[in-house]
Structure 1
Amino acid sequence: MLITGKEMLSVAQAEGFAVPAFNAGSGQLLTAVMEVAEEQQAPLMVAIHPDELSFLTDSFVAQARWLANNSKLPVCIHLDHGASFDHIMHAIQIGFTSVMIDASHLPFEENIAVTRKVVEAAHAVNVSVEAELGTIGDTGNTVEGGVSEVIYTDSKAAKAFVERTDVDSLAVAIGTAHGIYPKHIKPELKLDILAEITQEVHVPLVLHGGSSNPDSEIRRAVELGINKINISSDIKIVFANKLREILSGNNKEIREPNVLFPPCMEETKKVAAQKIELFGAQTKVELYYQ
């Protein structure tokens, strides 16, 4: 069942859980997260970054839409970190049901202007819009990018931003970073800032850079009002590590994709299942049929 981001997150907000948004950078990752969501009976946002889309080509979105339309799971296909109006328009044209415009690097008023323009265009064709206020950190080589110094989201600014843009969800900066943290850095969420934001902002809130943070902090963030959490690095690293293990083995004749990739997909599914449970999204499919 293909739905919009607004439809997806309104249920999560009302019921107090977070929807997993897994970055599906390949057909194998897409199949893995669809399978584990089915097993867990969890709603699913399939996130695709513009760089991933360039690699996969537009036909990948048609594949994702077919899987969604032929599943009883509520599925949203989401553009992750669209950087321009052109990115957004292209995503809408090829079938995304939710888009993120990331103008967080711009001054506040410019961010509002860009986001408002996207909202007006997307809402006209029933596509949901996520925006970002504040900055997400960057731990290294990720397609999502980020900055070296986090600017935390201000609660009063967030309220004004949402009211002036009519955005459907807001990604907030509370101390996360894209990628896996180096061993010498201890990730820590500013949950007090999140609590302030939830008092002022009444649209669903989004957490980017959810890989590597302690489970206790993520669980508390959901309790405080986070309704969507993006996961990319965690599912990709275990996939890649398993593939390296297989390729470095003694059997040099392994070459068939249907032999190479299934064990890697199983490792991805293990991590994805743990995230779904952590976010409280398991068994929530039935809520979308009430």
Structure 2
Amino acid sequence: MLLTMKELLETAQKNKFAVGAFNVADSTFLRAVVEEAERAKAPAIIAIHPTELEFVTDEFISYAKHRAYVSNVPLVIHLDHGGNMNEIVRAIKCGFTSVMIDGSTLPYEENVSITKKVVEIAHAAGVSVEGELGTIGQTGNSVEGGVSEITYTDPEQAKDFVTRTGVDTLAVAIGTAHGIYPKDVKPELQLDILKKIREATDIPLVLHGGSANPDSEIAESVRLGVSKINISSDMKFAYFKKAREILSTTELWDPNVIYPECITEAQKVINHKMKLFSSIGKAELYR
């Protein structure tokens, strides 16, 4: 079943679990996410970054929508880190049921202004909107980018931002980064900030850069009120590690022979994350 983000996360927030937003770079990753969600009876978010949409083309969304429509678990098709109005409008026309406008690196008032405009346009089309306040770090190995120095989300500013923009969900910055952390870097989430943001706002909160963070901290962030967690690098790393292994030890060249094992490896990561988010079996809540 294809839902909007607002519909999906209202139930998650009410029942205190989080839904994974898994970045889908092609049809094999779409299969990995949807098939594992169906096997685990868990809701899931099919996230597509603008650079990924450029690669798969607009026509791919028709396939993704059909796959979601016929599924027996709740799914959302979400534009991840939309950077401008053109990318937002393109996604809405393609059939995304949720869009993110990332104005986090803009001055505060500019972020409020562009986010409010996106909300007006998207809501008129029945599409949910995610905004972002504060900045996500970067490890240098993700297409999603990020900044060198994180700006943590201010709880009082978050309250003002939500009120003035009308966003359905809010991505917050509490110390995560896009990509896989280097071996000498140990990420530590500022859960005290998250707790204050949760107390100041009442809409579902989003955690970007959810890969490679300690399981205990991710689980605790769910307990403290995060309803959506973005996963990309962990899943892709497992997929392509297997692909490299197969290609370096065989002379295979048929995709239908190479990719099934890669999909399985990605699904192991997806299932592990779903367990952390407490979303397994929660599809029944949407019936």
Q: TM-score, normalised by structure 2?
A: 0.99
CA contact (8 A) 2:141 2:180 kept: no
Aligned to 2:263: 265
Shift of 1:142: 1.0
Q: Say whether 1:77 aligns with 2:77.
A: yes
What amino acid does structure 1 have at the position aligned with 2:187? Answer: P
Matches within 5 A, 1:1-290: 1-249=1-249, 251-252=250-251, 254-289=252-287
Q: Deviations over 1:154-178 (max 9, x none)?
A: 0000000000000000000000000
Shift of 1:72: 1.2
* 1:248 aligned counterpart, secondary structure: helix
What amino acid does structure 2 have at the position aligned with 1:4? Answer: T
Distance 1:99 1:262 in 2: 30
Consecutive unaligned residues in structure 2, runs of 5 or more: none
Distance 2:235 2:277 in 1: 15
Distance 2:89 2:245 in 1: 41
Distance 1:213 1:153 in 2: 19
Percent sequence identity is: 58
Runs of 4+ in 1 over 4 A off after TM superposition: none
Q: Deviations over 1:67-91 (max 9, x none)?
A: 0011111110000000001110110
Shift of 1:127: 0.2
What amino acid does structure 1 have at the position aligned with 2:97? Answer: T
Shift of 1:125: 1.1
Shift of 1:143: 1.3
Shift of 1:141: 2.3
* 2:267 aligned counterpart, secondary structure: helix
What amino acid does structure 1 have at the position aligned with 2:286? Answer: Y
Distance 1:199 1:272 in 2: 30
Consecutive unaligned residues in structure 1, runs of 5 or more: none
Q: Deviations over 1:128-165 (max 9, x none)?
A: 00000000000012111100000000000000000000
Q: Deviations over 1:101-130 (max 9, x none)?
A: 000000110000000000000001110000
Q: Aligned pair count?
A: 287
Distance 2:273 2:60 in 1: 24
Q: Deviations over 1:219-241 (max 9, x none)?
A: 00000000000000000001111
CA contact (8 A) 2:180 2:212 kept: yes
Shift of 1:182: 0.4
**RMSD across aligned C-alpha pairs, in angstroms?**
0.5
Distance 1:122 1:128 in 2: 7
Q: TM-score, normalised by structure 1?
A: 0.98
